[in-house]
Structure 1
Amino acid sequence: MPDTEQPLRPVLARAGVDRAAQHRLDEPWLAAAWSHPTTKVLPIAGGEAFVVDTETGTELVLLPSFEAPQTGDRYFLGTDEDGVSYFALAGETLPGRLDGDARPAGLREVGATLSDRDAGLLVHAVALEHWHRLHSFCSRCGHPTEKAGAGHLRRCTSCAAEHYPRTDPAVIMVITDEQDRCLLGRQALWPEGRWSTLAGFVEPGESIEQAVAREVLEEAGVRVGEVSYVASQPWPFPASLMLGFVGRAEPGGTAITVDGEELAEARWFSREDLRVGMESGEILPPSGISIARHLIERWYGGPVPSAAR
């Protein structure tokens, strides 16, 4: 039976650094923090940073500020319990020379093997870098904007309008029926055998519970009744917050009719169906960094077979 009491801890919802937002507009403090000998800097470009593989996982390569490149956009990421300050430094490319076995990598590749601190730093830096890259002009008047707030806002150089990083809320859900089967779907562009939970963006003027019911009905034709929140996870691909739910299909509303656009196929799976399919390789689970995997395993009662091997 599933362990629904165990707290859900998605891989990208981890952190080990206080974001210390009270310092973002304090330019003297930021300048002093950047110059401090204990400060650590994370170079980032195109959603990637340098990492090194260790016996216990993967670690970010963090540079002292005096070794960091002199060009690029600085984003203040926060401080840890020892008073160490962390900055991201975004550039067009990663620095050309690093000693040792450092290699570039992104969250999809190494998110699951990073420590809590490093996972939180990288997801924060990736989200900010992407937002800044796409918001160099004011949406009010069209004039250029400039970075402010230690990387957490942009200010128009003409009308002074302030623009803050955008996060798009999306719901992702495990829906079960009266037999406690789980509803999973397949997108046509996914690799053969890949199945996952249903998901979709919250629309304007809509509650997240309404979004769950609407998305499941639109994509699979299944009517959802009771809905309960489980956990959330930042998903900076490019700028979403995934809100995880469990829901129960209404009696008599479990017939599946896929829309043919969002989903190519949808099915009800028992735990035995999933076990047999995954052990044979006919069913591929979602990525380990996705909250979808965690929601499925919460319903399943533990790691799915392909994840246990």
Structure 2
Amino acid sequence: MTTNDSFPLGQPGFVSHPIDRAAHLRGNDEKLYAMETHRDARAYVIHRDSLLMTQGADGPRALLTLDEARKFGANPGTIFLGLNDGAAIFGMGISATAAEALMGRSDVGVENLRAVAASGAVAARELSTIAMAKSLVGWHQRHGFCANCGTRTSMTQGGWKRDCPSCKVEHFPRTDPVVIMLVTAGDKCLLGRQAQFPPSMWSCLAGFVEAAETVEDAVRREILEESNIQCTDVRYYMTQPWPYPSSLMIGCTARATTTDIIVDKTELEDARWFSRDEAVAMLKREHPQGLTGPHPVAIAHHLLANWLAQPA
């Protein structure tokens, strides 16, 4: 069961892989420069949690020529994302000043990426590459100085590394593992609310994997910490890149062995058990109290929909 044809069951946003990452080209500066100056090169331009998009007769467009990107104020220094049918695709950033200068224009704008992904303003097949651009652009903006000695670092390897000229430490982009899990007890499932969620939305519980911790232990620990529910039978479902700022959501299921909830109010606004019928109504946006489940762009929706698709 799913509520959006763009994200059928088992295919949330950011998981498609339409481009060849062509990692063997990252160290070839001459080749990268030639591709960057080629007329077929394109770029996604990122500003914080937003995406630069043009508006034309054919509708919104996120994939820009590099001349367009620079004209709108994108920063110099492009990140090589890969090849799409032989054409190079890059990621670029844009300063807050340049982004603000675009406000009020009808031909171009800086749009929130979550809203863009959920609304279908760009094709689902583009989201993975956009996520790559967002994660890398954000990483460079946050890691301009060496964590070892404090010296200003430089971008190398087509944007996939930063080198320190002083202590020679090499810095690489990181991805943070996050467990997200649907816990069930018979015909009930455990969902929670965070304060920043849209009104009425409930979703799966989630949390970062800690140092020297297995995925299974992280699932059990997070559920216990946030809801006081003990669980077992942890099973892997699928993963989803989540570029906020650069996480890998590890989707799992688990079976509860206790049912009395005590909510950790520092983590959650609330948590409760929902029946299968309620969960179906929430995904269909038909719950009598107006409660809703997560959007199909998110792996949480697919965890819930996959459980509902199984025999009761």
Alignment of 1:44-59 (within 5 A): 44-52=46-54, 59=61
**Which amino acid in 2 is paired with 1:265?**
D
Alignment of 1:1-150 (within 5 A): 8-52=10-54, 59-63=61-65, 65-69=66-70, 71-80=75-84, 82-92=85-95, 93-94=98-99, 101-112=107-118, 113=120, 114-150=122-158
Alignment of 1:223-238 (within 5 A): 223-238=230-245
C-alpha RMSD of the superposition: 2.8
Q: Deviations over 1:208-242 (max 9, x none)?
A: 11100110111111111101111111111112111
Moved more, 70-79 or 21-30: 70-79
Alignment of 1:172-183 (within 5 A): 172-177=180-185, 179-183=186-190
Tell me which of 270, 274, 281 is aligned to 1:265.
270
Partners of 2:51 and 2:113 within 8 A in 1: no
Moved more, 29-38 or 165-174: 29-38
- Runs of 4+ in structure 1 over 6 Å off: 53-57
2:210 match: 203
Measured after TM superposition, the shift of residue 159 of structure 1 is 0.8
* C-alpha distance in structure 2 between counterparts of 1:261 and 1:116, whole Å: 34
* C-alpha distance in structure 2 between counterparts of 1:95 and 1:75, whole Å: 23
SS in 2 for 1:11: coil
TM-score normalised over the length of structure 2: 0.85
Partners of 1:44 and 1:94 within 8 A in 2: no
Partners of 2:56 and 2:107 within 8 A in 1: no
TM-score normalised over the length of structure 1: 0.85
Partners of 2:179 and 2:218 within 8 A in 1: yes
Kindly indicate whether residue 304 of structure 2 is the aligned counterpart of residue 296 of structure 1: yes
| Alpha-carbon spacing, 1:200–1:159, altered in 2? closer, same or farther (3 Å) | same
Measured after TM superposition, the shift of residue 281 of structure 1 is 4.6
Question: Matched residue pairs, number?
Answer: 294
Q: Deviations over 1:56-94 (max 9, x none)?
A: 98541411x3454285221001002x2111112222134
Partners of 1:43 and 1:94 within 8 A in 2: no
Identity percentage over the alignment? 38
Measured after TM superposition, the shift of residue 254 of structure 1 is 2.2
Kindly indicate whether residue 201 of structure 2 is the aligned counterpart of residue 194 of structure 1: yes
Q: Deviations over 1:107-164 (max 9, x none)?
A: 2011242224421221111101111111111111111111111111111121111111
The unaligned stretches of length 5 or more in structure 1 are 303-309
Partners of 1:73 and 1:91 within 8 A in 2: no
* C-alpha distance in structure 1 between counterparts of 2:90 and 2:23, whole Å: 13
* C-alpha distance in structure 1 between counterparts of 2:205 and 2:291, whole Å: 16
The unaligned stretches of length 5 or more in structure 2 are 3-7
Measured after TM superposition, the shift of residue 292 of structure 1 is 1.2
Q: Deviations over 1:275-308 (max 9, x none)?
A: 4564235312223322112212222239xxxxxx
Partners of 2:180 and 2:300 within 8 A in 1: yes
SS in 1 for 2:14: helix
* C-alpha distance in structure 1 between counterparts of 2:49 and 2:113, whole Å: 8
Alignment of 1:212-291 (within 5 A): 212-250=219-257, 253-275=258-280, 278-279=285-286, 280-291=288-299
